[in-house]
């Protein structure tokens, strides 16, 4: 498909609607000029369709969207991955009509829109930017074909399923936290001896003993554990004072049992997907870090296929001679403010493949203008960033938790090197979050290196 033959449909996905625009060529005079001429005709040139139109209104529905696509017959549609759920309905409609879908990353689209001087926080402007993205010569090869590297690679079905399962497990984890907190608060006077005790199911099909006992689901609790809790309750101070288990506590416990059973079911499905032969090389690398099941699933859902970060099977490393300005970072109102000072001219090497890899995993940063200051913000998957942080505090900061292999030794030595840096008074220079961020970055760098080596060996 060449630039001369494309009809491009830009689709900006919102919570319950989409805004669209059609282009058959890149606008003469540029996007800013085109936008200024067309923004007054938003209703006709940038139609909006709603998944649930308000009654007695003129809002267009998803059926009208299908008619619009059928009438205009675009060759392809450009979408931004705004959550699996918000975009799923509209993507399904496009696929059912035989329209090819290409996905543009959040960061790439934001930079593209900003470079074209289009307004921010405008659904119509976003739809225009996406439609133009597919007919812009910058996104084509010299042969006139679309450059696939300018778009997100198509994810295989297993990865989509992985992402869905990971999201469901994270949702259940968030849901149960306030339920557990409230239940423990109530138990502080209704069954104080077990109010803050740890309770986990140890066998598939069973529920956590305390929650199962409170919910009176005896058949789903390990029998000795159920009897032990019963004996303990009979001796509780609450019994002596005439305090009983409130029905709302039993209701909350019942919910927690159902959540635990559902988590078990999802983890069975998750384990089968993660252990698919397609991911054998990745699992061999993950094993070196002693990553657990959920961590592996989170990482796979973001970095597969790893070849997407490479260029012709190799890392993209750029070398250039330029002024390397000194970077001064300060904290103001909880934000990292960056100032650049004059520096020396040096030969600089940038590993673009590794940078893209880290950015995808939430380990990258972007600079955004805020008034007259540059504010440094974390970018990429917040969930993966949290995963690296959890790995640091549970595996690295606690001695003897790292795997007994060369990678574990390398990370341990790096940690000690960071901690050995002190000022003139002997005070450790790196502490807390600063130290943790350094260790998180180290883990991401080593993971990229090991995956690069493993993929290279596999392809030989």
In this structure, the number of other CB atoms found within 10 A of the CB of residue 347 comes to 9
In the predicted structure, residue 220 carries a pLDDT above the cut 70: yes
For residues 303 and 447, give the distance between their C-alpha atoms in angstroms, rounded to a whole number: 11
Model confidence, pTM: 0.76
What does the chain come to in residues?
Answer: 460
Residue-by-residue DSSP string for 74-109: -SEEEE----HHHHHHHHHHHHHTT-EEEE--HHHH
Written as one string, the DSSP assignment of 54-77 is PTTS--EEHHHHHHHHHHH--SEE
Q: What is the pLDDT of residue 86?
A: 85
Nearest one of 195, 176, 200, 194 to 185, comparing CA atoms: 195
Nearest residue to 128 (alpha-carbon basis) of 16, 47, 229: 47
Whole-angstrom distance, CA of residue 63 vs CA of residue 50: 9
pLDDT of residue 122: 87
pLDDT tens across 139-196, in order? 888 888 888 878 876 666 788 889 889 999 999 999 999 999 999 999 999 999 999 9
Per-residue pLDDT for 312 more than 80?
Answer: no
pLDDT at position 324: 62
Write down the pLDDT at residue 141: 83
Of 270 and 383, more confident: 270
Residue 334 has pLDDT above 80, yes or no: no
**Distance, CA of 228 to CA of 412 (rounded, Å):** 42
State the pLDDT confidence band at 323, using cuts at 50, 70 and 90: low
pLDDT at residue 375, as a whole number: 65
CA atoms of 133 and 118, how far apart (whole Å) = 13
CA distance 403 to 405: 6
State the Cα angle at 28 between 23 and 29, rounded to 5°.
Answer: 125
Contacts 24+ apart (CB under 8 A), 19-22: 19/46, 19/47, 19/48, 19/123, 19/124, 19/126, 19/127, 20/46, 20/47, 20/48, 20/49, 20/65, 20/68, 20/127, 21/45, 21/46, 21/124, 21/127, 21/128, 21/130, 21/131, 22/72, 22/74, 22/131
Whether the per-residue pLDDT at 70 is higher than 80: the answer is: yes
For position 105, what pLDDT does the model report? 80
- The yes-or-no verdict on residue 1 having pLDDT over 80 is no
Average pLDDT score over residue span 411-425: 88
Q: In what order do the strands lie in the sheet with 317-332?
A: 317-332, 335-351, 373-379, 364-370
Residue pair 207/221 in contact (Cβ under 8 Å)? The answer is yes
Calculate ∠ Cα 158-159-165, nearest 5°. Answer: 90
Instruction: Pick 2 or 341 by higher pLDDT.
Output: 341
The per-residue pLDDT for 369 is 61
For range 291-315, the mean pLDDT: 88
- pLDDT for res 209: 96
Whether 303 contacts 360, CB under 8 Å: yes
Give yes or no for residue 5 having a pLDDT over 90.
Answer: no
Q: What is the tens place of the pLDDT at every residue in 431-455?
A: 888 889 899 999 999 999 999 999 8
> Which position has the higher pLDDT, 423 or 80?
80
Quote the pLDDT of residue 145.
Answer: 85
47 — alpha (psi -120 to 50), left (phi > 0) or beta?
beta
pLDDT tens column, 339-360:
766 777 777 788 888 988 998 8
């Amino acid at each position: 498909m060449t630039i001369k033959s494309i009809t491009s449909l830009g689709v900006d996905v919102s919570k319950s609607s989409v805004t669209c625009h059609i282009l058959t060529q890149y606008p003469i005079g540029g996007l800013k000029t085109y936008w200024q001429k067309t923004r007054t005709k938003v209703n006709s040139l940038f139609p909006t369709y709603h998944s649930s139109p308000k009654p007695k209104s003129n809002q267009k529905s998803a059926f009208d969207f299908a008619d619009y696509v059928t009438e205009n017959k675009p060759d392809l549609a450009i979408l931004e991955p705004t959550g699996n759920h918000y975009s799923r309905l509209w993507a399904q409609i496009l696929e059912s009509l035989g329209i090819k879908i290409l996905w543009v990353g959040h960061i790439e689209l934001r930079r593209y829109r900003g470079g074209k001087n289009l307004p921010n926080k405008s659904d119509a402007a976003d739809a225009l930017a996406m439609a133009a993205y597919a007919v812009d010569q910058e996104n084509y090869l010299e042969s006139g074909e679309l450059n696939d590297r300018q778009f997100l690679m198509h994810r295989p079905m297993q990865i989509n399923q992985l992402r869905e399962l990971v999201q469901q497990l994270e949702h259940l984890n968030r849901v149960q936290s306030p339920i557990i907190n409230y239940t423990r608060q109530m138990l502080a006077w209704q069954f104080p001896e077990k109010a803050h005790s740890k309770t986990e199911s140890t066998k598939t099909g069973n529920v956590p003993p305390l929650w199962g006992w409170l919910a009176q689901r005896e058949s789903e609790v390990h029998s000795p554990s159920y009897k032990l809790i019963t004996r303990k309750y009979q001796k509780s101070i609450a019994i002596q004072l005439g305090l009983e288990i409130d029905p709302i506590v039993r209701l909350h416990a019942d919910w927690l049992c159902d959540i635990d059973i559902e988590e078990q079911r999802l983890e069975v499905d998750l384990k089968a997907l993660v252990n698919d032969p397609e991911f054998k090389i990745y699992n061999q690398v993950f094993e070196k870090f002693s990553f657990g099941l959920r961590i592996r699933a989170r990482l796979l859902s973001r970095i597969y296929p790893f070849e997407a970060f490479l260029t012709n099977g190799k890392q993209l490393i750029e070398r250039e001679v330029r002024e390397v300005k000194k970077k001064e970072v300060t904290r103001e109102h909880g934000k990292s403010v960056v100032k650049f000072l004059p520096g020396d001219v040096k030969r600089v090497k940038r590993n673009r493949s590794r940078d893209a890899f880290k950015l995808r995993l939430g380990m990258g940063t972007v600079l955004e203008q805020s008034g007259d200051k540059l504010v440094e913000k974390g970018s990429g998957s917040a969930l993966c960033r949290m995963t690296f942080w959890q790995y640091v505090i549970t595996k690295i900061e606690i001695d003897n938790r790292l795997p007994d292999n060369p990678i574990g030794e390398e990370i341990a030595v790096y940690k000690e090197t960071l901690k050995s840096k002190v000022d003139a008074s002997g005070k450790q220079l790196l502490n807390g979050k600063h130290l943790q961020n350094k260790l998180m970055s180290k883990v991401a760098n080593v993971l990229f290196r090991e995956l690069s080596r493993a993929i290279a060996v596999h392809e030989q």
